[in-house]
Structure 1
Amino acid sequence: MKPLKKKIREEIKNLLSNFFDLKDLEFRVGAPKPELGDYYTNVAFSLAKREGKNVKKMADEVASILFKSEIFESAEPLNGFVNIKVKKSIIENMMREFLRGEKIEEKKERILIEFVSANPTGPIHIGHGRGAVIGDSLARVFSHLGYNVQREFYINDAGGQILSLLNSVDLYRKKLIDPSFEIGEDVEYQGEYVEEIAKKLSDNIGFEEKKKMVLFLILEEIKNTLNEFRVDFDTWISEESFYKNGAVEEVVDWLRKMGYVEEKDSALWFVMKGLEEDKDRVLRRKDGRWTYFAGDIAYHKYKYERGYDLLINVWGADHHGYLPRLRGAIKAMGFDENKLKIVWVQMVKLVREGKPVPMSKRKGEYITLKDVIDEVGTDVTRFFFLMRRADTPLEFDLELAKKETEENPVFYVQYAYARIRSIFEELKKRKMEYEEGGFSTKLLNEEEEKLLRKFIKLNDVLYDVTESLEPHLIVQFLLDIVPLFHQFYTKHRVLVENKVERNHRLEIIRCMQKTIETGLSLIGVKTPEGRM
């Protein structure tokens, strides 16, 4: 189903092109306050500037032209903007198409989304969890709209952090043999999970075998947690593989031939040459060890060579400073840096009874994603992680998350779905007749119209998600439309004796049921099966 906002924009252009030169004219179509209409446009501002006219007078003129549209019920000028309300027939057509389940046309574009990509040095924490639900929800939305989507996890299994982990495991093995042995506070990786790994290692194990076993155990734990969180990946790519198969040396030699790599002070440097930043970056240290940056260049070369139309990286906000050097390398390799989009994910702060939950990763006392899932459930955790923009810090209230009241936004949305289910169950129980397709715009009351005028924005929201890469818009939409349903439900009976009126209202709540179901499924949250 084509987003209505796009149709509105096309209609505005078609109507105004008969009166004005619209070539290269930029204007917006957005959603105003509900009481003002379904959409607004600022096209009068752009036209007034081009035509040298007063904005207010131009808005009056634009409104009078748009009012003649066959799909607009009204077009009202206000402070230079024009607020538009679509005809009820448009609502009816969209509703019928939605309930029929029109097949979405498959798109040719291929998209790669890389997310989570946690270091395999321990259980994934809540920050990774937020990135997981953001990346997974983006993949769900793109797939729902017909795009070919690949989900990828980049395993950071090379470098100093892996050596530190293995050292920590060795120290815990010493303690298992000699309980009096004390593990110092300066040991980087601590906690019960390190001890459990140490217990599973056999004696006299070689370094490579030990490394392989430790990484396997941690990755299995990560995969199990993500599986419980309803997050799956199509590909798992090892960082170390790029060093072992020669891909890093190959790309560095390639960049050297193009003049982007120089040797200074016995180290290899990537020379920016004004690409994105002025500071050169080390690729290989004096002791011969490659930097993470070198491996990342090889990895992104591999991404581009697979021919995707869009590359999305979901990164923690602490990586902001890393992006310029990566973009510089992408430019140097001759790839289109505009194909790469970054979603920045801010930190999550856990709160219990109004107080922050203390965490210390160094002492192994941090709360993992698994801990939160076990306490409040997957549905609530996913929903809460999407209640704010990705680039905004999130406060996660554990006590609120466990409440089964309207205060809890997840419960509030799922309760609306459960109410609708109960109506259809009661319909069967009473053996009342229901004929699909009985909706009529002539029967619309105020609450029903408000509800459906919100419903018509669903596809707008989904396409907005693909453009802004902000899946929190779906949660926002659900939290906007559900109160309208509850208002309708409280004021109007659905299972009335009048068959025509009953079929009309059942079509509306069937539409709401599918709307809520669609929204929740796209953020990986289940719909309740029984009463709540």
Structure 2
Amino acid sequence: MGGIVEEVSSGLARALAGALESARGRGSVKVDQVPEFTVEVPREKDHGDFAANLAMLLARPARMAPRKIAEILVNNFSLTGTWVERVEIAGPGFINFYLKPAWVYEILPKIIALRENYGRLDEGKGKRVQVEFVSANPTGLLHMGNARGAALGDSIASILDFAGFSVTREFYINDAGNQIENFGLSLEARYMQLLGLDVPFPEDGYHGEDLVGTVQSFIGRHGDAFLKVEAGERRAALVEYALNEKLEAIKRVLRDFGVRYDVWFSERFLHESGAVKDTLNLLREQGHIYESEEALWFKASAFGAEKDEVLVRSNGIPTYFATDIAYHLNKFQRGFERVIDIWGADHHGHVARMKGAVAAVGYDPAALEVVIMQLVRLYKGGELVRMSKRSGQFVTLEELVEDVGKDAARYFFVMRSSDSHLDFDLDLAKAETNENPVYYIQYAHARICSILRQCKEQGGKVPDPAEVDFSLLKEESEFALARKLADFPGEVASAAKGLAPQRIARYAHELAGLLHSFYNANRVITADQALSGARLVLVDATRITLQNALRLLGLTAPQRM
């Protein structure tokens, strides 16, 4: 479902192509074929509602000055069946179209009819896409990096779904490898210490206070029974118990953050099923592995990476990278046509190696897209926040949600591009003022709901758009609001194409601003019933669009504030 902006743009492009054909027929412009040209919304309002670059593209093949070509095209342009009021030539040969104000009001009945589907597109054509995000080690609490990844990944998945892709959200559980061995040693040490034994804690162990609580819970169930068993069995039991507890906690915290996954994929499965071994064999068969220093190496440099990478250490244990290749092979084997990973900035150097590995196992490396997100810094009272009571090291996602709420947290995490460092102002996120973008947007929605309640209390209702005279909407603030509503499908398309939820965040903020400006300049419910009806449809369409934008970011649209 495209938007009216795209419809009008396409109509102007067809009319302009018709003008060129007419000019060619008269011999005014001599070219063999029509070049691909654009009709788009110019950045500067003074340059019209739409602008085309066709004349400049024709200059070389037609051997004519672009302004002269523009004049010919304008003279051959038919206004019949278009919203065009006037056409002007600007600069080196841009053709600027100025439309009758009424064109933009055509969107209002469509929004009312489509409601929660306004802005939904078919760009993806049902193409299967997997978005994997967070994928934190299930050995502790979720931190700010995980929180930003959760907000980004979930919003990207929602936007892609709205744009017509078939989306699967996936969490990769890192329940194997060195970190789990270290986790087991840490749990064992805490277990023995809590039972009164004087044992050292691993130097690089997990020091969070939450681990103490986990072991206390384990002791509450099993007592000292595992002091009497072999160390391997003791650690295995502790790890199994702790992983289940931590994973359930992660799921709960993410649910509270508004994130629900379709698949929870276990790393352990890749080892137990033989997938890692099979992947290594495949790479060996394809000639992408060599042996050096008693280790097996992947020829990553052959695929554009800076250096080769170890797959199997000299002790025979596969590296994390080997498992990661097996995991990505598994993704493509499950039929995903496009795989999107959300990674922290510290994984930037891993991108080229991973894309090379995808190519090495027989898939298009372009089908793997990696969104790199930069670090988050929390500020309170103008000062950097460093410590957490629960983790002893960092502020947890759970603490953040308790402090500022789900909506504020999610919006702040996506309001900047993922590749930008993010300074999260805790005081601003909690402020009930217009300076807080979340409050500002949600208040716009609540303000509209208040108007609609007032209308209902007075015995009225939002009229059927078919019965409304939109020509009564003559104020600049009315036109600006409707014009912004018309942009929403295009913003969804751009956000989906660029994996850029910040576009939707910015759009919602700008739309809220236009609503507040309109509200401050005009009364919606007036003695003029016809004008009131037109304005009620306008604000109801704004409410629907705001709600749709907020939903894509995982935010609520409150009716009262």
- 1:458 equivalenced with 2:488 (yes/no): yes
Correspondent of 1:79 among 77, 91, 97: 91
The match for 2:409 is: 381
Q: Provide the C-alpha distance between the structure 2 equivalents of 1:410 and 1:58, rounded to a whole number of angstroms.
A: 49
Query: How far apart are the structure 2 equivalents of 1:374 and 1:362?
Result: 13
Q: Is the 8 A contact 1:67 1:75 kept in 2?
A: no
Q: Does 1:198 align with 2:215?
A: yes
| Shift of residue 112, structure 1, vs aligned partner | 1.1
Q: Does 1:209 align with 2:237?
A: yes
Deviation of the 1:146 alpha carbon: 3.1
Taking a change above 3 Å as real, the CA distance of residues 105 and 476 of structure 1, as seen in their structure-2 partners, is: closer
Contact 1:189 1:362 in 2 (8 A): no
Instruction: Name the residue aligned to 2:528.
Output: 498
Aligned mates of 1:65, 1:128 — CA distance in 2? 58
SS, match of residue 382 in structure 1: helix
Counterpart of 1:29, as a letter, is: E
The Cα of 1:35 is off from its aligned counterpart by 4.9
Task: Summarize the Cα distance change of 1:75–1:303 in structure 2 as closer, same or farther, 3 Å threshold.
Answer: farther
**Cα distance, 1:386 vs. partner?**
1.4
- Give per-residue Cα distances to partners, 1:128-157, cap 9 Å, x unaligned: 111111111121122223321111111122
Contact kept? 2:9, 2:50, Cα under 8 Å? no
Range that drifts further, 225-234 or 255-264: 255-264
Residue 509 of structure 1 is aligned with which of 515, 519, 539? 539
Counterparts in 2 of 1:332 and 1:436: CA distance versus 1, 3 Å = same
* 2:468 equivalent to 1:443: no
Residue of structure 2 in register with 1:162 after alignment: 180
Distance 1:278 1:401, change over 3 A: closer
Alignment CA distance shift 1:400-1:67 (3 Å): farther
Q: What secondary structure is seen at the aligned counterpart in 2 of 1:413?
A: helix
- The verdict on how the C-alpha distance between 1:382 and 1:39 changes in structure 2, with shifts beyond 3 A counting, is farther
Moved more, 241-250 or 146-155: 146-155
Shift of 1:41: 4.2
| Structure 2 CA distance for aligned equivalents of residues 418 and 425 of structure 1 | 10
Distance in structure 1 (CA, Å) of the matches to 2:509 and 2:57: 33
Cα separation, 2, equivalents of 1:223 and 1:310: 25
Q: Is the 8 A contact 1:67 1:74 kept in 2?
A: no
- CA contact under 8 A between 2:84 and 2:98: conserved in structure 1? yes
Gaps of 5+ in 1: none
Q: Provide the rounded CA distance (Å) in 2 between the counterparts of 1:98 and 1:334.
A: 45
Change (3 A) 1:49 1:123: farther
Give the match for residue 92 of structure 1. Answer: 105
Tell me if the contact between 1:191 and 1:363 (Cα under 8 Å) persists in the aligned partners.
Answer: yes
Match of 2:362 in 1: 334
Q: C-alpha separation between the residues in 1 aligned to 2:522 and 2:281?
A: 72
Give the equivalent residue in structure 1 for 2:166: 148
Deviations 1:460-492 (A, max 9, x none): 000111111101101111111211111111111
Residue in 1 that maps onto 2:441:
413
State whether residues 433 and 499 of structure 1, in contact with CA within 8 Å, keep that contact through their aligned partners in structure 2.
no
The aligned counterpart of 1:189 is 206
Asked if 1:259 corresponds to 2:272, the answer is: no
SS of structure 1 residue aligned to 2:349: helix
Contact map agreement 2:144 2:395 (CA 8 A) in 1: yes
Quickly say closer, same or farther: Cα 1:381–1:278, change in 2 above 3 A: closer
Q: How does 1:116-155 map to 2 (within 5 A)?
A: 116-155=134-173
| Partners of 1:25 and 1:105 in 2: CA distance | 23
Aligned to 2:14: 14
**Which of 48, 51, 54 pairs up with 2:59?**
48
Q: Distance in 2 between matches of 1:111 and 1:272?
A: 26
Please give the secondary structure, in 1, of the residue aligned with 2:456: helix
For the residues of structure 2 that align with 1:48 and 1:361, how far apart are their CA atoms? 68
Aligned identity (percent) is 34
Partner of residue 177 from structure 1, selected from 178, 181, 195:
195
Q: SS at the partner of 2:435?
A: coil
The corresponding residue for 1:523 is 553
Moved more, 228-237 or 437-446: 437-446
In the aligned structure 1, how far is the partner of 2:546 from the partner of 2:391?
43
The answer on whether the counterparts of 2:304 and 2:352 sit within 8 Å (CA) in structure 1 is yes
CA deviation after TM superposition for structure 1 residue 411, in Å: 0.6
Q: Is contact 2:140-2:208 (8 Å) kept?
A: no
* Secondary structure in 1 matching 2:527: coil
Give the structure 2 partner of residue 239 of structure 1.
Answer: 267
Q: Residues 304-453 of structure 1: matches in 2 within 5 Å?
A: 304-359=332-387, 364-432=392-460, 434-437=462-465, 438-444=467-473, 445-453=475-483
State whether residues 47 and 58 of structure 1, in contact with CA within 8 Å, keep that contact through their aligned partners in structure 2.
yes
Distance across 2 between alignment mates of 1:233 and 1:272:
32
> Does the 8 Å CA contact 1:439/1:508 hold for their aligned counterparts?
no
Instruction: Report deviation, 1:316.
Output: 1.4
Structure 2 CA distance for partners of 1:306 and 1:59, relative to 1, 3 Å? farther
Structure 1 residues 47 and 434, CA gap change in structure 2 (3 angstroms): same
3-state SS of 2:372 partner: strand
CA deviation vs aligned residue, 1:214-263 (integer Å, no higher than 9, x gap): 11111111111100000010001111211111011111111111111122
Contact 2:388–2:396 under 8 Å retained in 1: no
Segment of structure 1 superposing worse, 484-493 or 43-52: 43-52
Structure 2 residue aligned with 1:25? 36
Structure 2 counterpart of 1:320, which letter?
H
Distance, in Å, in 2 between the alignment partners of 1:182 and 1:316 is 33
* Matched pairs, number: 530
RMSD of equivalent CA atoms? 2.6
User: Given the superposition, is the C-alpha separation of residues 314 and 78 from structure 1 closer, same or farther in structure 2, using an over 3 Å criterion?
Assistant: farther
- Map of 2:320 onto structure 1: 292
2:163/2:496 contact within 8 Å kept: no
Matched letter for residue 210 of structure 2: Y
The verdict on how the C-alpha distance between 1:176 and 1:145 changes in structure 2, with shifts beyond 3 A counting, is same
TM-score normalised by the chain length of structure 1: 0.92
Structure 1 residue 53: Cα displacement: 4.5
Write the distance in 1 (CA, Å) between the matches of 2:97 and 2:317: 62
Find out whether 1:473 has 2:490 as its counterpart: no
The secondary structure found in structure 1 opposite 2:59 is helix
Shift of 1:410: 0.7
SS in 1 for 2:511: helix
